Amino acid sequence: MTEIFERETILKEDARLVKNITPKSEDFSRWYIEIIRKAELSDYAPMKGMMVIRPYGYTIWENLQQRLDRRIKDTGHVNAYFPLFIPESFLQKEAEHVEGFAPEVAWVTRGGREELEERLAVRPTSEAIIGHMYARWIKSYRDLPVLINQWANIVRWEKTTRPFLRTTEFLWQEGHTAHATEAEAREETLKILDLYKDFSEQDMAVPVISGIKTGREKFAGAEETYCIEGLMADGRALQMGTSHFLGQHFSEVFNIRFEDRDQQLRYAWQTSWGASTRLVGALIMAHGDDSGLRLPPRVAPIQVVIVPISMGDWKTTVLPVARKLAQELKAAGLRVHLDDREEFTPGWKFSEWEMRGVPLRLEVGPRDIKQKQAIVVRRDSRKKIPIPLEAAASRLPGLLDEIQSALFDSALKFREDNTHEVTNYTDFQDILENRRGFIKTFWCGDAACEDKIKAETMATIRVVFPPLSSDEKRGRCILCGKESDRQVLFARAY
Ligand SMILES: [Zn+2]
């Protein structure tokens, strides 16, 4: 069998294997679940709503985590760790906070054989325990600002769950800062919002829209909540990170007071902000296609997979060349995997790594070696490029950068094609029913309109844009028609 023929049969086999995944246009939810299972990102735990993050999925999370952690530290924050359990009385101090989280809290009532005197909440978020500690640590303006982040697990007893997007236990980071002035705390809130936006767009290649939440959608206990929202490939929005301006709500109830420069006692101003394992879900849904994952190179566990074409005496001819190539690429700082398994055909390997979203595949066969080249196949465009073996280490980093931007560009184009400016409610309903996507329109600011729209269309206000300048054209509330300068983004969301 000639190698050309071998490559053709491989392609046919490739197509056949790939067909085992439900096309995303046919059933997006099923496609999502199948990708997660086949790519071995996570598995269902025996307890309802809980997931096991498998090594491939966890490596994606670690890569996201490392890159986000670097950004958090570069902006002056440090990491610390607070307890998993929070006394009930702490949670109850901030009325809106306890009200918001009560339906989702898991409680510990016994320790060993003894009933606890006071129930302990398994943290649904850590404002309360951190507020308590900050009251002990912050005494003077010299102690401010406090800029602490924690990487932790969180438990919220969710009724409906979906892997990575909403699970009873999840992993996240939560930043908690305290400042001497309102202006500083507001600046911090927006600085983190920008940090999340940059992280999402540059590291995850997912374009996002940032803005403020409505009173209905804000974090329980915050004065203002800002967020970044991505548009997933099924036209639904995903909130990918939130940054809260807490005002003095928590410092008043936890008594976080400091002596200011003028010897006056003042309450500290606070922020909190978080992003979670839900980001893995965003990567799947923003970039995946009918053949599986397409991972952005910056966070992909494997950036380049080398598949030796196993023909004839390939172990003595092809394999040594493939090994040497793997070493050179590793030395160039790339995350490389050499798939030298004997029990699988090259075609099987091609479709497996394609399904698992590896950005670049390098095929090396006997004929390639004679020509001192390898064939590079891009996961994003499937384009095949012959590349001289000796140039691989210098050429591939540039190709990975190209894939990173191509994924961003295609997600951005998708968002632009699926963002609709709408001025009447019939069109609004029609788009949500038949086309989905983001709807840019006006809202009067009345929660009654917001509630009615949600009840009738399942769409929520994802963000409120900054008020229009006086020379911009004002609009009318999409529901009641009242004149408004409040432009908003609606969508059905995860
Ligand atoms: Zn209205």
For residue range 201-227, what is the model confidence (pLDDT) as tens digits?
999 999 999 999 999 999 988 999 999
Residue 392, Cβ neighbours under 10 Å: how many? 22
Nearest to 173 by CA among 246, 273, 252: 273
Q: What is the 3-state secondary structure (H, E, C) of the chain?
A: CCHHHHHHHHHHHHHHHHCCCCCCCCCHHHHHHHHHHHCCCEEECCCCCCEEECHHHHHHHHHHHHHHHHHHHHCCCEECCCCCEEEHHHHHCCHHHHHHHHHHCEEEEEECCEEEEEEEEECCCCHHHHHHHHHHHCCEHHHCCEEEEEEEEEECCCCCCECCCECCEEEEEEEEEEECCHHHHHHHHHHHHHHHHHHHHHHCCCCEEEEECCCCCCCCCCCEEEEEEEECCCCCEEEEEEEEEEECHHHHHHCCEEECCCCCEEECEEEEEEEECHHHHHHHHHHCECCECCCCCCCCCCCEEEEECCCCCHHHHHHHHHHHHHHHHHHCCCCEEECCCCCCCHHHHHHHHHHCCCCEEEEECHHHHHCCEEEEEECCCCCEEEEEHHHHHHHHHHHHHHHHHHHHHHHHHHHHHCEEECCCHHHHHHHHHHCCCEEEEECCCCHHHHHHHHHHHCCEEEEECCCCCCCCCCEEECCCCCEECCEEEEECEC
Q: Ligand 1 centre and the CA of 459: distance in Å? A: 15
Instruction: Tell me phi and psi for residue 483, to 5 degrees.
Output: -65, 140
Model confidence at 192, pLDDT cuts 50, 70, 90, reads very high
Q: What is the pLDDT of residues 411-435, one digit of tens each?
A: 999 999 999 999 999 999 999 999 9
Number of Cβ within a 10 Å radius of residue 379: 27
Share of the chain above pLDDT 90, in %: 87
Is it the case that residue 474 has pLDDT exceeding 80? yes
Q: How far apart are CA 244 and CA 347, in angstroms?
A: 49
Instruction: Reply yes or no on whether the pLDDT at 3 is more than 50.
Output: no
Is pLDDT above 80 for 5?
A: no
Q: Which residues contact 306 (CB under 8 A, 6 or more apart)?
A: 322, 325, 326, 329, 336, 337, 338, 339, 361, 362, 364, 374
Ligand 1 centroid to 443 CA: how many Å? 6
Ligand 1 geometric centre to CA of 362 (Å): 57
Across-strand partners of 388? Answer: 373
For residue 442, report the distance from its CA to the centre of ligand 1, in Å: 9
What is the whole-number distance in angstroms between the Cα of residue 222 and the centre of ligand 1? 24
Report how far ligand 1's centroid is from the alpha carbon of 449 (Å). Answer: 5
Gap from CA of 291 to ligand 1 centroid (Å): 44
Distance of CA 7 to the CA centre of its chain: 37
Residue 492 Cα to ligand 1 midpoint, Å, equals 19
Question: Tokens 């979670």 correspond to what residue?
Answer: 276
Q: What is the pLDDT of residues 140-186, one digit of tens each?
A: 999 999 999 999 999 999 888 999 999 999 999 999 999 999 999 99
Distance 417 CA to ligand 1 centre (A): 27
pLDDT for 1 beyond 80: no
Task: Measure the CA–CA gap between 482 and 443, rounded to whole angstroms.
Answer: 8
- Mean pLDDT for 67-96 is 95
In angstroms, the CA 392 to CA 327 distance is 11
Q: Pairing between strand 224-231 and 237-247?
A: antiparallel
User: Does residue 2 carry a pLDDT above 50?
Assistant: no
- Distance (Å) from CA 381 to ligand 1 centroid: 45
- The lowest-confidence range among 49-53, 93-97, 245-249, 338-342 is 93-97
How far does the centroid of ligand 1 lie from the alpha carbon of residue 455, in Å? Answer: 14
Distance 232 CA to ligand 1 centre (A): 27
Helices 314-331, 392-417: axis angle to 10 degrees equals 70
> Any idea which of 15-24, 179-188, 283-292 has the lowest mean pLDDT?
15-24
The C-alpha atoms of residue 344 and residue 310 are separated, in whole angstroms, by 9
Confidence of residue 35 (pLDDT cuts 50, 70, 90): very high
In degrees, to the nearest 5, what angle opens at C-alpha 168 toward C-alphas 163 and 173?
85
Q: What is the mean pLDDT of residues 107-128?
A: 96
Query: Model confidence at 12, in pLDDT bands (50, 70, 90)?
Result: low
Q: How many residues does the chain have?
A: 494
Q: If you average pLDDT over every residue of the chain, what do you get?
A: 94
Query: 447 CA to middle of ligand 1, Å?
Result: 8
User: How large is the average pLDDT for residues 14-32?
Assistant: 81
Q: Give me the pLDDT at residue 99, please.
A: 87
What's the 456 CA to ligand 1 centre distance in angstroms? 14
- In this predicted structure, the answer to whether residue 472 has a pLDDT above a threshold of 80 is no
- State the pLDDT at residue 248: 97
- In angstroms, what is the span from residue 434 Cα to ligand 1's centroid? 23
Q: Ligand 1: distance of its center to the CA of 414 in Å?
A: 29
Is the predicted pLDDT of residue 16 greater than 90, yes or no?
no
> Ligand 1 center to residue 484 CA distance, Å?
9
- Per-residue model confidence (pLDDT) at position 96: 84
Distance separating alpha carbons of residues 121 and 105, to the nearest angstrom: 6
Which residues lie across from 230 on neighbouring strands? 208, 238
Contacts of 453 (CB under 8 A, 6+ apart): 459, 478, 479, 490
Report the C-alpha gap between 53 and 164 in whole angstroms.
Answer: 9
Q: How much distance in Å is there from the Cα of 477 to the middle of ligand 1? A: 5
What gap in Å lies between CA 176 and CA 146, rounded to an integer?
8
- pLDDT band at residue 481 under the 50/70/90 scheme: very high
pLDDT digits (tens, 9 = 90+) for 77-88: 999 999 999 999
Mean pLDDT for the stretch of residues 45-60 = 95
